[in-house]
């Protein structure tokens, strides 16, 4: 029997036996045991397990223990489920929360299997990126994405908040951004934006699920929308009309003017002040109008601005080789640009890498050549392509210890609804989550578990793609 657990645990033993029905006493006892030291895990137990099918059996004879064990790997946990007795141990609060997420899958159909699990993630950064700049998804939809990410033990949501098509976050010192640059999207729709209150509430919601939000404002390119509101930050100062196309690389801020750098300072200061996590993403990709020298000079100054405001920065891979502040993260996304220097950068600079290869982890790429949603510039990415890859191997020469994370990315040139979003994300997000967790590679077992998740997605009303690489029956 294959456990319907995604990501698959590092080790598991399924014992022979009928198991037992899930009862209210299991859930209550687990939440009570977790509450003193892992309150968010306790809340998750009451929230997610309480709605599962269960009997109204007696509370007698059920023993549940949940203990902290710092000797386990970070975010690690163990589970021992037996008749009348559950034992959960976790390295920390996050480990306890991920144990509850695993239980939510294991118990989804109302029966308690007799098993042992020992589990911990391979990478500390396990993320999903959602582009709300091209096509706007609002707070309610973002909450649903957070829930979905957390259910697959992802711990980071990267929100792409600005691009040529739209600006999506309130900046009090720059009111024209939301007045003039948020009222459209790539589909010609009305757009929208997050207020700072929206943003802070989303972060609290995410942290309750052990997910950190990393905001991205892309600089110096992908900035046409910002220049619509403030043309003085552009290279020529000319007024601009809103852009709803999908071309990239044509826009850039003025590289040296006081007006442009005052704008950047305002943006980074606001992000730093209102972001609860330690990182903000400041873009740096596809600045195709700049020479390499111009680009490096700009990125080094941008890194200094982040450091001045007390925040750490993430940049796309193009920033590799610039002199960046210690602790900077670089996000690898393509081999179609120069990558020979990245291994040397990893060895010589205090930077780490997040692997998001477009040929594996970009969820905006088509499943098949004729699929109605998505693009094909990087690859055709079906389930197996999203599952069967190694993050370290994607960055040749980069030391394994310098690769700290994996992130799936959803750009929104083509989705127009939440159903479109889930169609692109499912079933590939669980595949990339398995890579990020470092699950043992076993595609047949993964595909079998995925089929069970498909039945659950149907029951939950989530639209997904029934890949021919999975037997959904």
Which residue ranges form the domains of the chain, and what is each CATH number? Answer: 11-119 (3.30.379.10), 125-439 (3.20.20.80)
Which residues of the chain have a pLDDT value below 70?
1, 17-18, 54-61
Separation CA 193–CA 215 (nearest Å): 13
Q: Which two tokens stand for residue 384?
A: 């197996």
- Helices 292-308 and 258-274 meet at what angle, rounded to 10? 40
pLDDT of residue 50: 79
Q: Which two tokens stand for residue 321?
A: 């080789």
Q: What percent of the chain is helix, strand and coil (3-state, nearest 5)? A: 35, 20, 45
* Residue whose structure tokens are 């910002």: 226
Cα→Cα distances 413→136, 164, 245, 283, 285, Å? 11, 12, 9, 18, 17
pLDDT of residue 59: 47
pLDDT of residue 215: 98
Q: Which two tokens stand for residue 426?
A: 């499912």
Beta bridge pairs of residue 353: 330, 403
Separation CA 200–CA 207 (nearest Å): 11
Residue in 20, 75, 216, 286 annotated catalytic: 286
Nearest of 350, 400, 379, 417 to residue 135 by alpha carbon:
417
pLDDT of residue 60: 56
Nearest of 313, 316, 317, 315 to residue 277 by alpha carbon:
313
Separation CA 312–CA 309 (nearest Å): 9
Q: Which run of H or E residues covers position 348?
A: helix 342-348
pLDDT in tens, 48-94: 987 777 666 554 568 999 999 999 999 999 999 998 899 999 999 99
Cite the beta strand spans of 289-402 per DSSP E: 312-316, 328-332, 351-355
pLDDT of residue 271: 98
Separation CA 286–CA 49 (nearest Å): 45
φ and ψ at residue 248, rounded to 5 degrees: -130, 160
pLDDT of residue 22: 87
Greatest alpha-carbon span in the chain: 76
Could you please report the per-residue DSSP string of 315-327? EEGGGBTB---TT
Is 286 annotated as catalytic?
A: yes
């Amino acid at each position: 029997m294959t456990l319907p657990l995604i990501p698959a645990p590092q080790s598991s033993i399924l014992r022979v036996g009928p198991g037992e029905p899930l009862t209210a006493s299991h859930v209550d006892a687990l939440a009570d045991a977790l509450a003193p030291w892992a309150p968010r895990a306790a809340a998750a137990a009451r929230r997610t397990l309480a709605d599962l099918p269960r009997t109204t059996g007696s509370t007698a004879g059920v023993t549940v223990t949940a203990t902290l064990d710092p000797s386990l790997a970070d975010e690690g946990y163990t589970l021992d489920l037996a008749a009348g007795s559950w034992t959960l141990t976790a390295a920390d609060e996050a480990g306890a929360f991920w144990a509850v997420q695993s239980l939510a899958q294991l118990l989804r159909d109302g029966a308690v299997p007799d098993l042992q699990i020992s589990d911990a993630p391979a990478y500390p950064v396990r993320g999903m990126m959602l582009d709300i700049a091209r096509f706007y998804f609002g707070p309610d939809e973002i909450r649903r994405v957070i829930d979905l990410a957390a259910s697959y033990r992802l711990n980071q949501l990267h929100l792409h908040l600005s691009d040529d098509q739209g600006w999506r976050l309130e900046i009090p010192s720059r009111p024209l951004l939301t007045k003039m640059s948020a009222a459209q999207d790539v589909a010609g729709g009305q757009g929208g934006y997050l207020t700072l209150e929206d943003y802070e509430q989303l972060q609290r919601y995410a942290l309750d699920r052990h997910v950190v939000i990393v905001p991205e404002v892309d600089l110096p390119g992908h900035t046409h929308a910002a220049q619509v509101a403030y043309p003085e930050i552009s290279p020529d100062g000319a007024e601009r009309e809103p852009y709803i196309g999908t071309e990239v690389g044509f826009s850039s801020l003025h590289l040296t003017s006081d007006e442009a750098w005052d704008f950047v300072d305002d943006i980074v200061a606001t992000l730093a002040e209102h972001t609860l996590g330690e990182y903000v993403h400041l873009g740096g990709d596809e600045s195709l109008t700049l020479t390499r020298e111009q680009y490096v000079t700009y990125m080094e100054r941008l890194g200094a601005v982040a450091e001045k405001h007390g925040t750490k920065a993430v940049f796309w891979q193009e920033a590799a080789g610039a002199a960046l502040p210690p602790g900077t993260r670089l996000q690898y996304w393509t081999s179609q640009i120069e990558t020979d220097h990245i291994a040397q950068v990893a060895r010589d600079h205090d930077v780490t890498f997040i692997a998001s290869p477009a040929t594996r982890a970009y969820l905006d790429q088509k499943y098949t050549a004729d699929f109605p949603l998505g693009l094909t510039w990087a690859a055709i990415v079906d389930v197996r392509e999203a599952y069967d890859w190694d993050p370290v191997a994607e960055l040749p020469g980069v030391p394994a210890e310098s690769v700290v994370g994996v992130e799936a990315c959803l750009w929104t040139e083509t989705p127009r609804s939440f159903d479109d979003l889930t169609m692109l994300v499912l079933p590939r997000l669980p595949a990339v989550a398995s890579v990020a967790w470092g699950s043992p590679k076993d595609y047949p077992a993964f595909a079998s578990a995925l089929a069970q998740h498909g039945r659950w997605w149907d029951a939950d009303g989530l639209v997904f793609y029934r890949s021919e690489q999975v037997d959904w029956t």
